[in-house]
Amino acid sequence: MKRFDKKRLGKAGIYLLLVIVLIISLFPIIYPLLSSFRTDNELFENMAPFNWHTIVPIEWTWENYIAIFKEYQFGSYLKNTLIMIALIIPGTIVICSLAAFAFSFYDFKMKKQLFALFLLTFMIPGEAIALPLYSLVNSMGLINTYAGLVLPALANGLVLFLFVQFFSDTPKALLESVEIDGGGWWTSFSRIVLPLSKPILITAGLMVFVNQWNDYLWPLLAARAQEVKVVTVAVANFKEQNVIHWGYIYAASTVSALIPIFIFLPFQKYFVQGITSGGVKG
């Protein structure tokens, strides 16, 4: 009996610990979500002493959501962001998978050096190349266009690396059999390699999506016009010289977090599968 109690007590302790960890992990999501339904004054009035209403609104309001969509045209920034991403994801996948196909199945001069060079690209922080990149894109007349946002993102070293890792597991005999049957590289690529790469395609797509959805510096420099401005840059507008519209920031952050969550969840299992098969080798 005593042993049974100890066991139950131990289990309860573990559950309690898990609940605490869960609350701590969810707090950064729950707090902005609930704060998006209250006014700034109510938020600061209830900041101290810490009580239930520090987190849960007293008077629930949609005011912040209405304001960001009506006064600040947040919907058009969401649309711009989705267009940008809809262009970047397929573009990146096409370019990187083709490049990875060449690196994985063909031998050519300077192959190793070139691959190392591509890998370097995702180790250099965006801030370091912002200035020359701006000069280049500006000289091409692409500032404030979707092309200016999209083109620099298409060749992605990390995605290339993932594809190469995944393709290296594909038996070369499959490609040789295509050749014997008279098929060319395009047949091998489109009929054999790509259909086998579903998890890595989804993983790469999700990685690109999350990176681009959260990107701030490049859209700030390359897309300042209303017609191409994206969500991350638009959220900064709620911080004015002498006022921060906290409620607007929370509402906009909630909306812009929900979209990736809804896209990410259905593909979660592929994402994990893709990462493990593309990255870690046993």
Partner 1 sequence: MKRQVISVLMGVSLLAVMVSGCGKKGDGADDGGSEGGKTLKILTHYDAAFAEAAKKYEEETGVKVEIEQTAYENIGDTLEVVLSSQSDEYDLIMADGPNTSAYVSRGYLEPLTEYFTEEEKESFSPELLKQGTVNDEFYAAPLGDSSTVLYYNKNLLKQAGIEVDWSQYTGESRITWEELVDLAKKAVAELDPDGSKGIYGIEIGQVSSVYQMNLLANSMGGKNISDDGKTVKGVIDSDEWKDAIAWYQGLVEEGVFSKGVSGLETYNNFYAGKCVFEWMTADSYTFCLDADLTEEDFGWTYQPCFEGHEDEVATGCGNWALGVSAFSNNKEEAGKFVNYMTYGEGNDIFLPISGMGPNTSARYTDELTEKNPVLEIAKYEAENTAFVRAVTPAFNEYSAALSTMWEDIRNGADIEEAMESTVEQIDSALGEYNES
Does residue number 210 form part of the binding site for partner 1 (CB under 8 A)?
A: no
Question: Is 129 among the residues that bind partner 1 (CB under 8 A)?
Answer: no
Q: List the one residue out of 201, 262, 259, 265 whose CA is nearest residue 79.
A: 259
Rounded CA-CA distance 161/100 in Å is 7
12 binds partner 1 (CB under 8 A): no
DSSP 279: T
Residue whose CB is less far from partner 1, 8 or 224: 224
Q: Report how far residue 167's alpha carbon sits from residue 183's, in angstroms, rounded to the nearest whole number.
A: 19
State yes or no: residue 239 binds partner 1 (CB under 8 A).
yes
- Is the peptide bond prior to 32 cis by the omega test (within 30 degrees of 0)? no
In the chain, % helix, strand, coil (3-state, to 5) comes to 75, 0, 25
240 binds partner 1 (CB under 8 A): yes
Interface residue with partner 1, options 170, 237, 273, 277 (CB under 8 A): 237
Calculate the CA 265 to chain-centre distance: 13
Q: For the CA atoms of the chain, what is the radius of gyration?
A: 24
The residue (of 78 and 137) whose beta carbon lies closer to partner 1 is 137
Binding mask 59-98 for partner 1 (x = CB under 8 A): ---------------------------xx--xx-xx----
Q: Looking at 25, 177, 214, 226, which residue binds partner 1 (CB under 8 A)?
A: 226
Tokens standing for residue 239: 């911080």
**By the rule CB under 8 A, 248 interacts with partner 1:** no
Number of amino acids touching partner 1 (CB under 8 A)? 51
**Do 246 and 35 contact (CB within 8 A), yes or no?**
yes
148 lies in the binding site for partner 1 (CB under 8 A):
yes
Query: In this chain, which of 224, 258, 268, 279 binds partner 1, going by CB under 8 A?
Result: 224
Please, what is the minimum distance in Å from the beta carbon of residue 42 to partner 1?
A: 8
Instruction: Give the Cα separation of 212 and 232 in Å (integer).
Output: 10
CA distance 195 to 199: 10
What is the rounded distance in angstroms from the CA atom of residue 237 to the CA atom of residue 242?
Answer: 12
Give the residues lining the site for partner 1 (CB under 8 A): 40-45, 47-49, 86-87, 90-91, 93-94, 130-131, 134-135, 138, 140-148, 150-151, 154, 190-191, 194-195, 220-221, 224-226, 233, 236-237, 239-244, 246
